[in-house]
Structure formats: C-alpha cells, structure tokens
C-alpha cells in the first residue's frame, strides 16, 4: 500500500534540498559560531547567511531575526518580553482561536497576576472583528496578538488592518505567523508589526528550529539569558545546522511561493469538489480568506477520530483538529470558538496539502473517502437509554 501524507499543517517533510544544505554542518562544519578560529568563523558565516535568508522571505532586516528552537518559543518570547516592558501595561488582547503556544503562556501569566487577557470571539467564518479589536485596546494594553493564519481552518486574519489599529492605539502587535510564512506573501517592512513568529517544520525544514522577528527599535527582554548569543537576545549556542536548514527552506519558499500556492490550490479544489458532494459534509472556515492548502470539513453524524483511523489504515494521514490536541476527545476550541455545535466540531477533519503531494494521491483519496464515510456512518451506535458511551470506539464521550 502506498501512503499519502495530507497533514502538512502538523509538520512537513524535509525538502531534500534543505537536507543537503544542512548536512555539512552536522558533519565537518561543526564549529561554534562564537569561536574565533576558522571552523567557528565558517559556522558564523553560514549562520548569518541563514539569517539574511529568513529576513528576506518576510521583508525584514537580518538584524531583526532571532533564531529560536521553535514557533512555541518564539510566541513565548514575544509575549514575555511585551509583558516586561511597562508595569502599567498588563493587558493582552488576543482571540479565542489562537494556537495553544499563545493561549497557554497567556493563561499562565494571567494566573500569576502578570497579565489581564481578553480573548476576542471570531465570526462563524473564523475571523476576528476589527471594531471589537479596536475597542479592546487601551492605555493598559501591553500587547495585541493575532495569528496570521489558523492551523486548523487555514483562515487568514486581516493582519494589515489589525496592525494599523494597534499602531494607532500605541500598542505592540505580535502575530503568530507559523502557518503563513512560506505560504502567503509577507512584508513586515510595510506593516507596523513588532513581533512575528516562524517555525521551520511547517515549511520543509526540520523540527526544532524557529525564528522571532523583532522590529528594529522595539525593546526586547530575552527569554533565555546566557552567553550573549543572538546579539544578547537569546542565550545558548546557536544550532547552526538547523538555522542553515531554515535559511534554505526560506530561500526555496520565496522562490516557489506562487508555484507552491497554485499547486496546493489545485489539489485542494479537486479534493473539495468531490468531498463536498458527499451528503452531510460541510466546509469549516471562510471559503476564500484561507490558506490554499487547508481544507477543514465536518462529516456530519460521525466522530472524526473513527474516519481518521480508517483513512490511516487505507494509507492516508490526516488530522482531527490540531495535532497537538488529538488524542483527546475534546472538540477543537477553534471550531467551537467559531460557533460550531459540539457535534459538528467532533466530526471535523483537517486535510492539509503540501509541496510534495500529487494529483494522483488526491484521486486515490477521493475514490476511497465516500466508502469510508459510509462505513463509519453504518457503524454509528444506535441510540440507547445509556447515553454517553460509544460502542464503536469504546470511549466515553465528554
């Protein structure tokens, strides 16, 4: 059985060109970029070239890029820094559909009394209201944080308008752009954004590398203090091989932005054309303001975990909600935040297409999917007086 991977929002495979660029720094080019000898200097040069590549993809200056260990760290660092800026500003305005890598550090700060968090609702399409956003910002707001694109639905936020509103109110603006970088054009030079988070493994680099853009002139309090690396903004010896990988991934993404986008659009359109013909299947999220490669569909009357398992057996990797929360049967906070009833949120699957998917894989998927849905619907437990226990999956529904 040949398998097909449709979970590119969870993580992407490593592009062979990225692997090739990185490999020498895992072998002979192992120098510490802070060392003054030739091995160290070669590592430094590679690191700074990679920094330029990351900056170029988002329209930043190299000096505005800090390498981090992942998107989660980038989000944590931006939030922690903004909350240390001014003791009179502890408000943070965000949305109900952010990734846990934003919501959890904010919850933690709020519990410790270091932040007052406003989580704005979103429309049924998944978009935050700009007027509500404006009304929520005041003199006590330390930071506004709104994701560029949602990991579950692909819905794209009106970032330019939100950033302009924050600027007019004198509030720092952060965007978790982990799902957007490399998929949509981004130019921070043209937008009043102070912080932007990037993660390597969403754009064909390995896991364990990320970056944080910090606008020049923005005061920054490091999360990790140590040896003064990253221009005193993140202690810890830089992971040169992974930084090189991220730099190469950014070069490739920049060169292929249009081609990649057209490719995944055609795959998604072919997929949705057939999938939405199955009775009781609905699309979640804005139909056009979303990432080209993300399709979030609800299969009415069934638990998405059951479809996921059968698709997996048939060789297709997809996701039920966010990968970070799968394994729990709680409905996705993103979908319930968009007003989906619990039952519809439980039946949602995310198909996320990427650079290495082919039309042939999509044809196999659309051939297989209808019979899997029919099978899961047949297996659906008949209503009994003891409600709440699923005979099929043997799990207690919460």
- According to CB under 6 A, which residues from 127 to 186 bind ligand PLP? 147, 151, 176, 178-179
Whether the Cβ atoms of residue 214 and residue 172 lie closer than 8 Å to each other: no
**Count of other CB atoms within 10 angstroms of residue 2:** 7
Nearest to 127 by CA among 161, 101, 100, 102: 161
Q: Which is nearer to ligand PLP, 193 or 376 (CB)?
A: 193
* Rounded-to-integer distance, Cα 211 and Cα 375, Å: 44
Whether the Cβ atoms of residue 157 and residue 149 lie closer than 8 Å to each other: yes
Which one of residues 44, 99, 234, 268 is an interface residue with ligand PLP (CB under 6 A)? 99
Q: Which is nearer to ligand PLP, 224 or 278 (CB)?
A: 224
Does the protein bind ligand PLP through residue 70 (CB under 6 A)? yes
393 in helix, strand or coil?
A: coil
Q: What string marks each residue from 187 to 226 as x (binds ligand PLP by CB under 6 A) or -? A: ------------x-x--------x----------------
Whether the Cβ atoms of residue 189 and residue 58 lie closer than 8 Å to each other: no
Q: What string marks each residue from 309 to 328 as x (binds ligand PLP by CB under 6 A) or -? A: ---------------x----
Q: How far is the CB of 380 from ligand PLP (least distance, A)?
A: 31
* Rounded-to-integer distance, Cα 74 and Cα 224, Å: 11
| Count of residues interacting with ligand PLP (CB under 6 A) | 14
Q: How far is the CB of 233 from ligand PLP (least distance, A)?
A: 18
Q: How far is the CB of 323 from ligand PLP (least distance, A)?
A: 6
For 5, 194, 211, 235, 370, the CA distances from 217, given in Å and listed in that order, are 42, 9, 18, 20, 55
Q: How far is the CB of 69 from ligand PLP (least distance, A)?
A: 8
Contacts of 326 by beta carbon, 8 Å cutoff, 6+ apart? 305, 308, 319, 320
**Residue 324 annotated in active site:** yes
Q: How far is the CB of 181 from ligand PLP (least distance, A)?
A: 10
Q: Which is nearer to ligand PLP, 199 or 284 (CB)?
A: 199
Q: Which is nearer to ligand PLP, 78 or 214 (CB)?
A: 78
* Rounded-to-integer distance, Cα 188 and Cα 225, Å: 27
Segment near ligand PLP (CB under 6 A); pick from 67-75, 233-241, 273-281, 355-363: 67-75
Whether the Cβ atoms of residue 137 and residue 93 lie closer than 8 Å to each other: yes
For 255, 274, 323, 382, the CA distances from 385, given in Å and listed in that order, are 60, 37, 34, 10
Does the protein bind ligand PLP through residue 101 (CB under 6 A)? yes
Q: Which is nearer to ligand PLP, 44 or 290 (CB)?
A: 290
Does the protein bind ligand PLP through residue 333 (CB under 6 A)? no
User: Could you list the residues that contact ligand PLP (CB under 6 A)?
Assistant: 70-72, 99, 101, 147, 151, 176, 178-179, 199, 201, 210, 324
Residues assigned a catalytic role: 324
């Amino acid at each position: 059985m040949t398998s097909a991977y449709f979970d590119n929002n969870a993580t992407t495979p490593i592009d062979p060109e990225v692997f090739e660029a990185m490999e020498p720094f895992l072998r002979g080019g192992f120098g510490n970029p802070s060392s003054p000898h030739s091995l160290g200097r070669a590592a430094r040069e590679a690191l700074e070239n990679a920094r330029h590549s990351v900056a170029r993809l988002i329209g930043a200056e190299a000096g505005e890029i800090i390498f981090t260990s992942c998107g989660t760290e980038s989000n944590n660092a931006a939030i922690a820094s903004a909350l240390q800026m001014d003791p009179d500003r502890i408000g943070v305005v965000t949305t109900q559909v952010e990734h846990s890598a934003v919501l959890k550090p904010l919850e933690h700060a709020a519990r410790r009394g270091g932040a007052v968090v406003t989580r704005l609702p979103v429309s049924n399409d998944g978009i935050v209201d700009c007027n509500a956003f404006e009304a929520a910002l005041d003199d006590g707001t330390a930071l506004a944080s709104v994701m560029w694109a949602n990991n579950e639905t692909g819905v794209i936020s009106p970032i330019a308008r939100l950033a302009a509103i924050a600027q007019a109110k004198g509030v720092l603006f952060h965007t978790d752009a982990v799902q957007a970088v490399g998929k949509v054009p981004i130019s921070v030079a043209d937008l009043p954004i102070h912080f932007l988070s990037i993660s390597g493994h969403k754009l064909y680099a390995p896991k364990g590398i990320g970056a944080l853009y910090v606008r020049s002139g923005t005061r920054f309090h490091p999360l990790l203090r140590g040896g003064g690396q990253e221009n005193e903004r993140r202690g810890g010896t830089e992971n040169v091989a992974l930084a090189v990988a991220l730099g190469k991934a950014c070069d490739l993404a920049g060169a292929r932005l249009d081609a990649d986008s057209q490719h995944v659009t055609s795959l998604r359109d072919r997929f949705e054309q057939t999938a939405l013909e199955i009775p009781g299947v609905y699309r979640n999220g804005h139909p056009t303001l979303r990432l080209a490669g993300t399709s979030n569909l609800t299969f009415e009357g069934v638990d998405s975990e059951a479809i996921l398992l059968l698709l997996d057996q048939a060789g297709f990797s997809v996701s039920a909600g966010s990968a970070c929360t799968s394994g729990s049967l709680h409905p996705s906070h993103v979908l319930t935040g968009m007003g989906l009833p619990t039952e519809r949120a439980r039946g949602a699957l995310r198909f996320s297409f990427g650079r290495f998917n082919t039309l042939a894989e999509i044809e196999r998927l659309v051939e297989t999917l209808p019979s899997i849905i029919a099978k899961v619907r047949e297996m659906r437990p008949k209503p009994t007086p003891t409600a709440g226990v699923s005979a099929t999956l043997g799990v207690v529904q919460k």
